[in-house]
Amino acid sequence: MHDEDRLVEEVLQGRHASFELLVKPYRTGFLNMAYRITGNIEEAREVCQEALLRMFRYLKAFRKGRSFKTWAYRILLNTSYDHLKERKKFDRAVESQKERVLFHDSDQETRVFRREIAERIQGLLEVLTPKERAVFLLRDGEDFSVEETARTIGCSPLSVRTHLCRARKKIRKELERDFFREPGQEET
């Protein structure tokens, strides 16, 4: 926490190299969070780029002594949802989430496996509301505590528990439905 405050102070004093050190621990977290929400790795990169820009620009507004992690993830979440709104506006969301997932693995077997997992995760996330999705991704995807999740989303821990509870009920139902579905049978 103190290290983060020191790095924030350095960035504000004009030492821009410290910004990279400040956000480095959350590199994969940012990318994966944006990836789960957008369903596309290229769009996730765009979202991360925009979120990093916002973080740098509004770093003056960061209150020292608070958690940089929750502040940064909050910006990332807002940027991701803004991006989704823009995408809907331009009516580019017609394609299914499954088609959006891009893979760059060279190994064919790994690629197929990862595609299958990614499609299943996207299928699970599709049944959740935006708030449930955010809570679920932060708690179960990024291993945030309930308190950290509450600070990131800007609600009470009780509200986080409620949304988490609903999300897990839906996830369970979806997994059971998926399990009992015949192989190759499409959803009606």
Partner 1 sequence: MRCRKIIKQLPLLAGEEFPPEKAREIHAHLDDCLRCRKEYEAYRHAVKTARAWMASERRDLPEEDWHRMIQQAVQEASVHETRPIAPLVPWPFSRAWAVVLMAFIVLAGALMVIRPSLLQDIPHTARAVLRLQEREEPGMPVLGEQDVIAMTLVSKEAGVEIKWIFNKHFDLREEK
The gap between the terminal CA atoms of the chain, to the nearest Å, is 50
Instruction: Tell me which of 64, 111, 172, 177 binds partner 1, using CB under 8 A.
Output: 172
In the region spanning residues 103 to 132, those forming contacts with partner 1, defined by CB under 8 A, are 114, 117-118, 120-121, 124
53 lies in the binding site for partner 1 (CB under 8 A): yes
DSSP for residue 95: S
CA distance 35 to 125: 12
Contact present, 58 and 75 (Cβ < 8 Å)? yes
- Burial of residue 41 (CB within 10 Å: 0-12, 13-18, 19+) is middle
**Interaction mask 137-156, partner 1, x per CB under 8 A:** x-xxx----x----------
The phi and psi torsions of 120 (rounded to 5 degrees) equal -65, -40
Residue 72 Cβ vs partner 1, minimum distance, rounded to whole Å: 12
Residue 5 Cβ vs partner 1, minimum distance, rounded to whole Å: 19
Instruction: Tell me which of 5, 6, 10, 45 binds partner 1, using CB under 8 A.
Output: 45
Residue showing tokens 């944006």: 34
CB atoms within 10 A of CB 96: 12
Interface contacts to partner 1, rule CB under 8 A: 16, 19-20, 23, 27-28, 31-32, 35-36, 41, 44-45, 48-49, 52-53, 55-57, 114, 117-118, 120-121, 124, 136-137, 139-141, 146, 161, 164-165, 168-169, 171-172, 175-176
